[in-house]
Structure 1
């Protein structure tokens, strides 16, 4: 595949269990539809040879010239996981405890609060006339997006971070946003010191994202005022 993407991995904490998610492009996808739905910003491709989704994503069918069956894909995944991780995968029905967790997750995931948890239109829908909402994107090893709400004195009233990165536990990310309220966004040293406090918390995981990536996203948002 060279530098083209055919799969993606992610992990999520679902109450008492950790889930590993895998997305694999088996058949050739409708990239025009995907681009419209995903709304991938151009910064995503700033460090890649590909400059669009259609150039970046490939599939098993495109690479091999045939569409494998679901059984072939399943068996291939099982073989590789068992070999690389060194465990024996056993197929079985969900336990009552696992089913209870699944139903609990479904109820939460389908809620309005969860669906719009990271929504700038919802988060800042009560913006006042004397407040200024700025937007910035910074692409380091991962993409960081900042929505910056400033008051009439130019201090931070609210900030929301999103983008193409993994952070766990997510509550630490929300706490980090809250910790920046009241600060001067032009004082990068103070911002960086405050953000680093989250990085020092036990159990904080945010691979391939440095504290300065967040201040860079804020700086880019501030450039809207120039």
Structure 2
């Protein structure tokens, strides 16, 4: 396999969306071709909060502090999982495979995180790092790496993956002035304070990475796993055109606030609003608009993953119009939908809709 390498030092925050945009454009045939591509980012030009595709911006971020501390808001394109704070000390990488490489997202995580990324951090000196399914690498209980996989299959199948780790010592205060981390996130972890949960190669390894070390470690690990030849390249003119088009969408208020409690309440003014959340392997939240015990509208948010990426909208369609007593009917509808080969990463189908009915019933 031949893999193209795109390398960025001090990258613009939106570059972390490059793989997802190119993959999406290819899946809908907006891009004619795309080679297998490895994208490596060593540090970013400015701090930013990187929201998952399904996360509620009003609940995940302290919006007043975003403006106060000049931190950019960036939302992932078609990729779930949690909100992360990234800065000059953060290394990111992404990979695109425009062909069938993995059977499903679980296998993709096991290989890309459990083998490739784990090899990378160990080669950089964190020898006691371990893979924690579905998408983390941890060291002594602390989160060293976060990742996400999405499989798109509109007209053509393509898989893309994003991962990140702190290479050098992070700011001990700024991330927690920006991130609004719910207590439920730590319900299943020995570590209870967010400040204790984040690791870094420099802090937890046996040496401080130099510029270029992260890139070299990734190239070596990817080459080994996929028996690939990796050569530095650049975006084609066609890819540049697609990227510029979607960059305008990524930066728009409509996309950044695509999941927002405030906008949901405004949209459903006149109906009763209720909310509930529950932590499974991933956090699932439900905002409801109720009309006399009947579900008028639903917004499901959280740090889960979905295949296909807009599966939450299909599930919501199955719930609208049901009453608060129709859980079994809702479960059967969602299970039927899942027979199409769909996946929920971080919760079972039954668990995924449970917060909706917890909110609906008011307990």
Q: So what's the TM-score if we normalise by structure 2? A: 0.56
- What is the CA RMSD across the aligned residues, in angstroms? 2.3
Say which structure is richer in helix.
1
Q: Is the 8 A contact 1:31 1:53 kept in 2?
A: no
Say which structure is richer in strand.
2
SS at match of 1:170: coil
SS at match of 1:67: coil
Matched, 1:132 2:269: no
SS at match of 1:194: helix
What is the 5 A alignment of 1:70-85?
Answer: 70-85=211-226
1:59-85 CA-to-partner distances (Å, cap 9, x unmatched) read: 011113653123011111111222233
What is the 5 A alignment of 1:97-108?
Answer: 97-108=238-249
What residue in structure 2 maps to residue 60 of structure 1? Answer: 201
Aligned residues: 222
1:103-142 CA-to-partner distances (Å, cap 9, x unmatched) read: 122122112221111112112213333x211111111111
Q: Is the 8 A contact 1:28 1:62 kept in 2?
A: yes
Matched, 1:184 2:323: yes
Query: Greater shift after overlay, 105-114 or 17-26?
Result: 17-26
What is the 5 A alignment of 1:114-125?
Answer: 114-125=255-266
CA distance in 1, matches of 2:161, 2:245: 18
Aligned counterpart in structure 2 of residue 20 of structure 1, from 126, 151, 161: 161
Q: Displacement, 1:12? A: 4.9
Q: So what's the TM-score if we normalise by structure 1? A: 0.87
Query: Greater shift after overlay, 173-182 or 64-73?
Result: 64-73
Which runs of 5 or more residues in structure 2 are unaligned?
Answer: 1-138
| Higher RCO, 1 vs 2 (CA within 8 Å, ≥6 residues apart) | 2
Q: Would the alpha carbon gap of residues 112 and 54 (structure 1) be closer, same or farther in structure 2, given more than 3 Å must change? A: same
1:151-196 CA-to-partner distances (Å, cap 9, x unmatched) read: 1x21100011110111132333212112211101232201211222
